[in-house]
A and B are shown apart, each in its own frame.
Chain A
Amino acid sequence: ETGVTQSPTHLIKTRGQQVTLRCSSQSGHNTVSWYQQALGQGPQFIFQYYREEENGRGNFPPRFSGLQFPNYSSELNVNALELDDSALYLCASSPNSGRNSEQYFGPGTRLTVT
């Protein structure tokens, strides 16, 4: 069984550019959540997709947007990049198989904005 995968592993962008990060959820998982982790901090919830619909959003501006596809893979898009967007971006998937389904995290994409 393949776990959660993310691409690319590392990315360097310039302030003002746009970026798309990708996440393939674990087989059978229909929920994907995205988190931003700044250096030395815990992950912060960005938003979540459940069966292709946004299912909750954290305190992030609209320039952070996402998609979930019929195969439950997902994209995170960030427009008008700012220096503070430099972080590790994590996605997590969940099978919704029980009331306390755990979330499975991918290895993350390290984004550097210069």
Chain B
Amino acid sequence: DAKTTQPPSMDCAEGRAANLPCNHSTISGNEYVYWYRQIHSQGPQYIIHGLKNNETNEMASLIITEDRKSSTLILPHATLRDTAVYYCIVSRPNFGNEKLTFGTGTRLTIIP
């Protein structure tokens, strides 16, 4: 599976959009981009995934560049509860049997 690069930390003001970047320059054609987050003392939580089209769900939006070498997770109106470590993962889909390779993620802090 391709590796990803994320900034170690970011701050965002409450109520503003949080934009979390991820580089995955070695992504292959059949690999998807997945985002999970981990709130302190909890297990990781799935957020969203995508292949090449932009995706949106009730939690976030995912923007993938046309060359698929990078992506951005957008939390449209960040709240204090969004403070967490966010992981960008690249993996071939396998019906939930993916062996997820987590990096160190981005620690997002929402500032009141």
Contact A107:B99 (CB < 8 A) given known A42-B87, A100-B49, A100-B93: no
Within 8 A of A (CB), among B60-108: 85, 87, 93-105
Q: Across the interface, do B97 and A42 meet the contact criterion of CB distance under 8 Å? A: no
Q: Across the interface, do B93 and A43 meet the contact criterion of CB distance under 8 Å? A: no
Contact A43:B99 (CB < 8 A) given known A100-B32, A105-B44, A106-B43: no
Q: Across the interface, do B46 and A103 meet the contact criterion of CB distance under 8 Å? A: yes
Interface size on A, residues (CB 8 A): 33
* Pair count A-B, CB < 8 A: 72
Which of A11-19, A64-72, A75-83, A88-96 is the interface stretch? Answer: A88-96
Contact A103:B42 (CB < 8 A) given known A42-B103, A45-B101: no
Q: List 29 A-B contacts (CB under 8 A).
A: A4-B43, A31-B96, A31-B97, A33-B100, A35-B100, A35-B102, A42-B103, A42-B105, A43-B44, A44-B102, A45-B99, A50-B97, A92-B43, A92-B44, A92-B100, A94-B96, A95-B96, A96-B96, A96-B97, A97-B95, A98-B96, A100-B32, A100-B49, A100-B96, A102-B49, A105-B43, A105-B44, A105-B45, A108-B43
Q: Interface of B with A (CB < 8 Å)?
A: 32, 41-46, 49, 85, 87, 93-105
**What would 6 more interface pairs be, CB under 8 Å, given A31-B97, A43-B100, A102-B49?**
A43-B44, A48-B97, A96-B97, A98-B96, A100-B32, A103-B46
